[in-house]
Amino acid sequence: MMSKQSRKEYTKEVRIKYLRASKKEKTKLLDDLVSFTGYNRKYAIRKLSPKNFFRKKAPEKQRKKTYNSDVIIPLIKIWETLDYPCSARLHSQISTMLSVLAIHGEMRVSEEIKEKLLQIKPRTIDRKLKREKEVRRIKNKRFFATTKPGTLKSKIPMRKGAQWEEDKPGYLEIDTVAHNGGDPGGEFVYTLNATDIYSGWTESIAGLGKSKKVVIGKGLCGTIVPSLPFKMKGVDGDSGSEIINDLLYFYCLHNNITFTRSRPYHSNDGAHVEEKNWTHIRKIVGYGRMDTLEEIHALNSLYRSELRLYMNFFQPHMKCVKKEYLGSKVKKKYEIKTPYQYLLESDEITQEKKLRLKKMYQNLNS
């Protein structure tokens, strides 16, 4: 099989002979060209025709640039001012930023440039800013954060079924409960609920809003983890930004804790904590709106003292230990004990912690 370059050179040699040859010789040269190069006969005739040989290649027409440097420079200025948003977010704010920057004398553009900036589309913005993004990546590797929503989520595996050692304490399911009274507007109180899969031991903490600093920093890492009677070995939550964030990710990475997430639209993946959301929070607190510091203090006083002790030391926890499949029916066998009793039976809990739990239990209701 001849290479592309070889076919070109051979065709050029045949073309010179072909233009000078008689009709009979042309047929022979054409047969040889088709045989050696594998060209289609009609294509070979076009390659050898005088029109193709003497034709000059028409110069390519240069497309007139709509968005030249006069447009791109102010676009980059707006992009930098807004802390480098994506093209869709940048596009929605161009009009506003042109007015704001003009009022403060930071940027002035002609009406023609302003009109072009308002017409530019997100995809065009991506193309025009591509070089600027690459330059910034080279200058500063930390310009674009490596922890993006999609990137971070891809690092956290989904927990499907019983992948944990559920016969040991320390693997928690966590979830947030909103106290907005049916009105999601404004800032309101959220309760972070954490339930141990093995024992059913549950800890709760309330905070204003659901930022990662409130939910993870002050809530989970600052309050719940230190008050657990066992070491946290794993944590599983939904895909919300209050749980899937770099604060919890690096905390788990540093402390050798397994961090997983449930599948979207599979609420049963977090069945243990969803059950406690009802029995420990909704059934006690209700569905009213809470948005003041006084209400947060009242909730945390309830969560961290009476309710926590009552639920973990006295309320029995049903745990499925066996399933029997009888045709289309499933027969389940449950073990019913309080979280406190489950922990006393566990070999993972030290004798010192067990004695502490027993002493705490004996002092209750006294």
| Inter-residue contact 168 to 261 (CB < 8 Å) | no
pLDDT of 131 > 90? The answer is no
- CA angle (70 as vertex; 65, 71 as ends), nearest 5: 75
Q: Which range is least confidently modeled, 189-193, 232-236, 332-336?
A: 332-336
pLDDT in tens, 6-26: 888 888 888 888 888 888 888
pLDDT of 145 > 50? The answer is no
Partners of residue 335 on adjacent β-strands: 319
Q: What is the CA radius of gyration of the chain?
A: 35
pLDDT of 66 > 70? The answer is yes
DSSP assignment string, 167-231: TSTTEEEEEEEEEBTT---S--EEEEEEEETTT--EEEEEEES--HIIIIIIIIIIIIHHH-SS-
Mean of per-residue pLDDT scores for the chain: 84
| Inter-residue contact 309 to 303 (CB < 8 Å) | no
Which tokens go with 29? 């040269």
Question: In percent, how much of the chain has pLDDT > 90?
Answer: 33
Identify the top-confidence range among 142-146, 202-206, 303-307, 331-335: 202-206
pLDDT of residue 60: 65
The model's pTM: 0.58
CATH class of 152-305: alpha beta
pLDDT band at 143 (very low <50, low <70, confident <90, very high): very low
pLDDT in tens, 157-167: 887 655 667 78
Domains of the chain by residue range:
4-54, 69-144, 152-305
Q: For the residues 258-263, what does the mean pLDDT come to?
A: 88
pLDDT of residue 5: 81
**Residue 259 DSSP SS3:** strand
pLDDT of 56 > 60? The answer is no
pLDDT of 357 > 90? The answer is yes
Q: For the residues 198-218, what does the mean pLDDT come to?
A: 93
pLDDT of residue 154: 76
Q: Which helix (H) or strand (E) holds 258?
A: strand 258-261
Q: Which of 210, 204, 208 is nearest to 192 (CA)?
A: 204
pLDDT of residue 189: 94
| Inter-residue contact 240 to 209 (CB < 8 Å) | no
pLDDT of residue 342: 92
104/3: higher pLDDT: 3
Question: In percent, how much of the chain has pLDDT > 70?
Answer: 90
Partners of residue 261 on adjacent β-strands: 158, 237
